[in-house]
Amino acid sequence: MRKNYLWYQLFRYPIVGGALRLYYKKLKVTGREYFPKNKPILFVPNHQNSFMDALLVVCTVRPFIYFLTRAEAFRPPLQGWFLGTLNMLPVYRVRDGFSSIQKNNAIFEECFRYYGRNDAVLIFPEANHNLKRRIRPLSKGFTRLAFGGEEYYDWELDLQIVPVGLNYTAHREPRNIAHVCYGKPIPVKKYHAEFKEDEKAATDRMKAEVSKAMKKLVFHAPNLDTYPVQKLLWEVLEPDDAVLTDPATSNKRIKQTRPHITEALKEEAKALTELAEKHDVDLRALAHPQSFSWKDALMLPVYGFSLANNAIPYQAVRHLTTKVIKDHAFDASIKFLTGVLLLPLFYLVMCGILALAGVEGSWLAAYFGVSVISAPAFIRAKEVFRLGSTQTLKKKKPQLFEDLTNRLETFRSLRHSIINE
């Protein structure tokens, strides 16, 4: 049996896997039929959403999987030990110092040994995270893991690279849709002859082919200068979350948009985006105002309880994501870990306080159970009690409201004409 097998399987499936299905409104997985059987796999996902990206892959595959993450996450030592029990391996970067980078050789050799027993390894080929919906240039770190593994076994390993696309309707928020797309495997041995002749050429071709495969699995806006236009048309104005997380549809529309993009349109998209950011206006919420349904009416008591019961943890998370940690790519990770670790602990503390106040055990058990069950309703509860935010903006800042809505209509008209071409 592998080291930490029982703990690792318990942690990734019932605990984290179950929590992911509560955190997301819908978790969709496609492409698992492409997984090669009885062969080692190198998973290479895009990296937009920090720690959540790794969890979504780890909890939606069957192979025993190890994943590489930034070495700084392994400090202090106790934290590093815990991450090690979860099959996480530290990878060092230039900023960690030359002596630290040399430690990567030992880490990579450890990965090669895992290949030998048909385990899987995960590495983010973009090497860093970014919330933009696009595949960034790939680093050569994953090619070292690929070619190094084959060389370690004299090219008899038959290592398979599986590209992965991670798609989110809203990266930073819970209760949205996540779509994990697995692509067709790319055998490393196809580069064998070229690698023997010219390592750099083989490395460049692998990077290009893997990048091309990844771009088919995500919403990919290729050019940064046109990104605001594509974002407004196919993210902000998209009413259907299922379409937003469907790479085939999104990428088809992105391609159709290119002939329509002018310098004036790029400037208008940039100006609209900056205006909304300046006044802290959520353009997608403005474009698709939500209504109060009969289900919301029935759920009002639950919403009220969930809001009151989770107010303290919510304020703690809000402080972290707005005042302490400035990189918003960590927002979802913080919220998820809060739900998995902090909320149950908070409910237990509340049970202790209630017990000291003389509340009986059966009522304490009921409180804990209702707290856990109603926790996912907190997000919709916030939305319901903020349904008037658009009307508030219209009332308090009518000129801004009119300016934003008129500008959105310009892009909505263009979107409609592109879809109907």
> Domains of the chain: which residue ranges?
5-215, 224-289+394-419, 294-386
| Per-residue confidence band for 46, with pLDDT thresholds at 50, 70 and 90 | very high
Give the tens place of pLDDT for each residue, 376-394: 999 999 888 775 677 778 8
Q: What Cα–Cα distance (Å) separates residue 138 from each residue in 47, 209, 216, 303?
A: 11, 11, 15, 44
Q: What is the pLDDT of residue 88?
A: 85
| Per-residue confidence band for 244, with pLDDT thresholds at 50, 70 and 90 | very high
Q: What is the pLDDT of residue 364?
A: 97
Q: How far apart are CA 349 and CA 359, in angstroms?
A: 13
Give the tens place of pLDDT for each residue, 255-287: 999 999 999 999 999 999 999 999 989 999 899
Give the tens place of pLDDT for each residue, 126-135: 989 999 999 9
Peptide bond into 174 cis (omega under 30): no
Q: How much of the chain, in percent, has pLDDT values that exceed 70?
A: 96
Stretch 94-114: mean pLDDT: 80
CB 80 within 8 A of CB 90: yes
Q: Under CATH, domain 5-215 is a member of which superfamily?
A: Glycerol-3-phosphate (1)-acyltransferase (3.40.1130.10)
Assess whether pLDDT exceeds 90 at residue 73. Answer: no
Q: What is the pLDDT of residue 84?
A: 78
| Per-residue confidence band for 11, with pLDDT thresholds at 50, 70 and 90 | confident
CB 35 within 8 A of CB 162: yes
Give the tens place of pLDDT for each residue, 295-334: 999 999 999 999 999 999 999 999 999 999 889 999 999 9
Closest CA relative to residue 338, chosen from 303, 304, 312: 312
Cα angle for residues 161, 162, 164 (degrees, 5° grid): 140
Least confident of 140-154, 181-195, 359-373, 389-403: 389-403
Assess whether pLDDT exceeds 70 at residue 98. Answer: no
Stretch 330-349: mean pLDDT: 92
Q: How far apart are CA 26 and CA 28, in angstroms?
A: 6
Assess whether pLDDT exceeds 60 at residue 1. Answer: no
Assess whether pLDDT exceeds 90 at residue 192. Answer: yes
| Per-residue confidence band for 3, with pLDDT thresholds at 50, 70 and 90 | low
| Per-residue confidence band for 110, with pLDDT thresholds at 50, 70 and 90 | very high
Q: How far apart are CA 406 and CA 283, in angstroms?
A: 12
